[in-house]
Amino acid sequence: MHPILSDKKRLLLYLLVWIGLSLLVTMLIRFAEDSPWINAAAFAMPLTMMFAFVNLSAYYICRAFPLGKLKLIYLIILLAGVAKLTTIIWIVIAQGWNAVLQPFDWSIPLHTAALMILYAVGMTFYLLSLAGHYLIITFEQAQKAERREFESQILAREAELRMLRAQIDPHFIFNSLNSISALTTNDPAGARKMTLLLADFLRQSLKLAHERAIPLEEEWRLCFNFLEIEKIRFGNRLNIESRLDEKAERCLVPPMLLQPLVENALKHGIGQSVDGGTIVIEAKRHDLQLHLSVENPVDDVPVIKKTGIGLTNIQSRLSAMYGSDAHFRSQINDHRYRAEIILPVEENHE
């Protein structure tokens, strides 16, 4: 459908413009024929308003012959020919309309001067209409291209996120099964308990597997269920300190976001220390940003791989979901390793 006819506001604006143009044509006819104002208005205004709808046909001409389809000179000749033909038909209609007005004494002499004015007006208005419709079509095409690009970016990000999520579960299961395998010899009861906890954890995580984002309080519970599993393996060597800001609880985060940080803390911190230590998990909201951090002790300055599956996965997921609005950083200070994620706040309003 025509973009002007399909929108009431555009149509109203279009008609208002043409009412103004019809007054201009009335004035030109009035002075060209020296006719009374009422005669000039009765002749020119309905005729011009009818021509307003004739000019809408320019949209379909422009669609049939888009810019670049023909050589410019051929396109100009074609459009000029269409404008001339349309104007001639309009003048013929004008003569018929003048004959209709004659019995009511509202007609005008319609001499050569008036016909020349109608020809000039018709050609000018139709050519301007063609130019305007080419602009409309160009704008529509730009919008469609932008929309397609945006949709393709979304699809690409969703595909990337699905791929990244698919990497999480095998990575976690591999580590957990290794832990269970190690316990089966030394602590069969602990291995059984860990297996049950793992099954429960997987049930919970599968419920959230297809969610784009979940409330932080749910992610927090998942994380601590995971730590319960690991506590069986590490025993008294593993202590946990939780600092969850109430303002942050309902903020939305990608599922399984904290777990790779905790795994990293266990592997490079607690696992490398004879005495173990305390893992501090913290979440705070600062205005429009959510800060998540995991901190663990380190005996010496460790060589922590930033290219491991877990940390690489985090950075890739953050980039895919938030672009440059999210950040991941890490630092070592006073024998404490701190990994921090900064996200834009997205609240759960349910």
pLDDT in tens, 177-194: 887 888 888 888 888 888
- The neighbouring-strand residues paired with 279 are 240
Per-residue confidence (pLDDT) for residue 315, from 0 to 100: 84
| pLDDT for the residue numbered 194 | 84
Exposed/middle/buried for residue 222 (C-beta within 10 Å: 0-12, 13-18, 19+) = buried
pLDDT at 307: 47
- The answer to whether residue 312 scores a pLDDT higher than 60 is yes
The pLDDT score that the predictor gives to residue 155 is 61
Query: C-alpha 34: how far from its chain's center?
Result: 60
Q: What is the predicted pLDDT for the residue at 11? A: 94
pLDDT tens column, 45-70? 999 999 999 999 999 999 999 988 88
Is pLDDT at 154 greater than 60 in this prediction?
yes
Q: State how far the Cα of 72 lies from the Cα of 133, in Å rounded to an integer.
A: 17
- Which one has a higher pLDDT value, 86 or 205? 86
Q: Point out the least confidently predicted range of 51-60, 212-221, 299-308.
A: 299-308
Question: pLDDT class for 349, splitting at 50, 70, 90?
Answer: low
Across 20-46, average pLDDT: 94
Q: Residue 159 pLDDT > 60, yes or no?
A: no
pLDDT range class, residue 14, cuts 50, 70, 90? very high
SS3 147: helix
**Cβ pair 121, 89 in contact under 8 A:** no
Residues 93 and 95: their CA atoms lie apart, in Å, by 5
d(CA 338, CA 285): 18
Return the axis-axis angle of helices 8-33 and 112-186, rounded to nearest 10°: 170
Collect all residues with Cβ–Cβ distance below 8 Å to 55 and sequence separation of at least 6.
125, 126, 129
Which residues are within 8 A (CB) of 214 and not within 5 positions of it... i.e. 6 or more apart?
208, 252, 253, 254, 255
The contacts of residue 197 (CB under 8 Å, 6+ apart) are 225, 228, 229, 232
User: pTM score, two decimals?
Assistant: 0.53
Q: Are 54 and 83 in contact (CB under 8 A)?
A: no
% of the chain beyond a pLDDT of 90: 50
- Average pLDDT across the chain, whole number: 87
273 Rama class: left (phi>0) / alpha (psi -120 to 50) / beta: beta
In what helix (H) or strand (E) does residue 195 lie, and over which residues does it extend? helix 188-207
116 CB-near residues (< 8 Å, 6+ apart)? none
Considering the four listed CATH numbers 3.30.1740.10, 3.90.79.10, 3.40.630.10, 3.30.565.10, the one that applies to the domain covering 187-344 is 3.30.565.10
The predicted structure's pLDDT at residue 264: 87
**pLDDT > 50? residue 131:** yes
Structure tokens at 126: 């139709």
Query: Per-domain residue ranges for the chain?
Result: 8-148, 187-344
